[in-house]
Amino acid sequence: MHLHRALPVCLSLLAAALAAAVHAQEAQPAAHPAKPTAPAAHPAKPKPAPPPAAATTAKPKLIGQYNDWGAYTASPGGKKICFAISRPTSAETKPPNRPRNQPYLFITTRPADKVTNEVSIAVGYPFRASSQATAEVGSTTFALYTQGDGAWIKNMTQEVQMVDAMRSGDTVVVKGESARGTATTDTYSLKGLTEALGRITQECK
């Protein structure tokens, strides 16, 4: 059973990072970053108690823009986190043109929780209950556990493999199904990811 007690904080930070990303993109049109933090998706990893409501207002700080990925840091509840984030270069729905919020893919490091490079996805709509999503990197497909509008790798032992594949890959394709039965396919460019991950590693040692 996966627990995602950090999810509300993550979504609040994502919203704040989006505003910051708009300004970054004006200066660097090729970049596609925006929202923040990764939820604690794995039962084997320690799960912090939800921070006070005031902590959810912590604003992420852009520390580097690398092509299609932005590197951010924030300190919700006084705990420093770092994350790399991007939004899809292509987003498709079936049936077409179904409304949804902006999807994001982010990779987060939370030193206080001993979490490094946790892959998370905010898909922009509530997933169908108990459904799985997938993330395809090259010829490898990773199963994703879903909860609300978030997704995390189902088999935590594959997370390092997934991040390594993303470092050397060109794109990651995320597929899922909404609670209303809409199928979505989001394609993310991986250009700049390696540099963004290097930056957050330096920042959150």
- Record the pTM: 0.77
Predicted confidence at residue 18, as pLDDT, reads 53
Output the average pLDDT for the chain.
Answer: 81
55 has pLDDT over 80 = no
Tens digits of residue pLDDT in 110-161: 999 999 999 999 999 999 999 999 999 999 999 999 999 999 999 999 999 9
Q: What is the mean pLDDT of residues 184-202?
A: 98
Predicted confidence at residue 53, as pLDDT, reads 39
Q: Which helix (H) or strand (E) holds 63?
A: strand 61-66
- Among 25, 17, 32, 14, smallest CA distance to 189 is for 32
Residue 175 vs residues 64, 69, 91: alpha-carbon distances, Å? 28, 20, 10
Are the CB atoms for 151 and 174 separated by under 8 Å? Answer: yes
Predicted confidence at residue 33, as pLDDT, reads 35
Band (pLDDT 50/70/90 cuts) for residue 205 is confident
76 has pLDDT over 60 = yes
Tens digits of residue pLDDT in 5-37: 355 455 446 545 554 554 444 444 333 333 334
More confident residue, 53 or 145: 145
Predicted confidence at residue 108, as pLDDT, reads 96
DSSP state of 127: B
